[in-house]
Chains A and B, each alone.
Chain A
Amino acid sequence: MPLSAYILPLFILAVIVAGFFKKVPIYGSFVAGVKGSLQLLLSIMPYFTTILIAIELFTASGLGEKLTQVLKPLFTAMGIPAELSQLVILRPLSGNGSIAALQTIIDEYGADSYIARCGSVIVGASETTFYVATIYFSTVKEYKLRYAIPVCLLASLIGAAGGCALCKIM
């Protein structure tokens, strides 16, 4: 068993034991936690359902492909291989989608190829930006995202370009 497998259960065990000694009602806490989870889900679900419908349409209609073609020159100028353009577009939109795209790339070019390693770094070093943004701001009333999304996207793109450069030397 790898050592890291023990971290999670030991952590939860430690919390429960500490709670017991501090006379925290454990059963009541779990009920409250689940109740909170239900409320949280009710408030975030409308947002991510809407987003997922839009993203499914966006990729299935071929619009994502079009956007990829438009942005490809920008990506190659930043040192991101052209083969990874679609992955870079998909990454901030859909977690499952980008995992599937990475799988295709690994299968096609081989796990140890430069392309596949860059792709792995891009997926491993970033997040599903649109999903994170909708979820994090969903329980805040009257949210205005202002400059949030462009900043996140640009920062991820810089990270992706940096990752591709690093893969050349590491």
Chain B
Amino acid sequence: MVMNAVFFLMLILSLIALTIASPQTAFSVMLNGATDAVELALSLFAVYSVWLSVLEIMDKAGISKAINRLFSPLWKRIFKGESEKATEYISLNFSANLLGMGSAATPMGIKAMEQMSKNREKASDNMILFLVFNATSIQLIPATVIGMRAQAGAADAADIILPSLLATLLSTVSGVILAKACAKMSGILKKGLPLACR
């Protein structure tokens, strides 16, 4: 619903503005967006193919389980009530993010979401929390940005690592706190309603 409204507003307002300013470009702008998507799809297909294959072997060889053992005490606290399989993918997603392998983190994150959506009733808040983790990016080294700074002749291109790390920690921690607060609020709101309304 929200997504529908946001999308409609974005589309209608942009199209009106474009039609007034430069009507001849409106259609090609939309095509540009779709063309970007095709390019993105190709590169995602390539990256996911390799990583999901590696993941397949990791699952079958029991490596996923071994990695999960490192983190599962933490996840049991943060993502309460999730299955072993779900925390396994969460662990893999988290390690890939930490190592800066964002492309590997995504397919594993999607799998974690699928697992979490299986036990429907309690999943939702956990799923959002997991999204917050990924959307606030837990990354040790922002390689792309360092590369750009180096190219532009920065004295010490990597000197943004520490502030970046602290900033991403700050955003992740505040995201988790905000998400937990919202979950609690919606829980209270739900409990306040009579059973028939749920």
Contact = CB atoms under 8 A, between A and B. Distances in A.
A41 B148 contact: no
Interface residues of B, number: 89
B113 A127 contact: no
A135 B40 contact: no
B158 to A, nearest CB: 11
Given A63-B13, A167-B163, A107 B110 contact: no
Interface in B96-124: 99, 101, 106-107, 109-110, 113-114, 117, 124
Contact of A58 (B14, B40, B131, B163): B14
A147 interface: yes
Interface string B48-75: 1111111111101111000000000000
Nearest to A107: B152
A44 B197 CA distance: 33
Contact of B113 (A99, A140, A152): A140
Interface string B12-44: 011101100100010001101110111011001
Given A19-B61, A61-B15, A63-B14, A162 B167 contact: yes
A146 B164 contact: no
Given A61-B14, A167-B163, A29 B53 contact: yes
Q: What size tier do the contact residues of chain A reach?
A: 35 or more
Contacts of A120: 142, 145, 148-149, 160, 164
Nearest to B173: A155
B78 interface: no
A98 to B, nearest CB: 10
Contact of A54 (B7, B41, B155): B7
A138 B51 CA distance: 19
B45 A152 contact: no
Interface of A: 7-8, 12, 15-16, 18-19, 22, 24, 26, 29-30, 32-34, 36-38, 40-41, 44-45, 48-50, 52-58, 60-63, 96, 99, 102-103, 106-107, 110-112, 116-117, 120-127, 129, 132-133, 135-141, 144-149, 151-152, 154-156, 158-160, 162-163, 166-167, 170
11 contacts: A18-B57, A33-B50, A40-B48, A107-B152, A124-B168, A138-B110, A140-B113, A148-B131, A152-B136, A155-B135, A166-B167
Given A54-B11, A167-B160, 13 more contacts: A18-B61, A22-B62, A29-B60, A33-B52, A34-B53, A55-B33, A57-B10, A63-B17, A112-B154, A125-B137, A136-B106, A151-B175, A159-B172
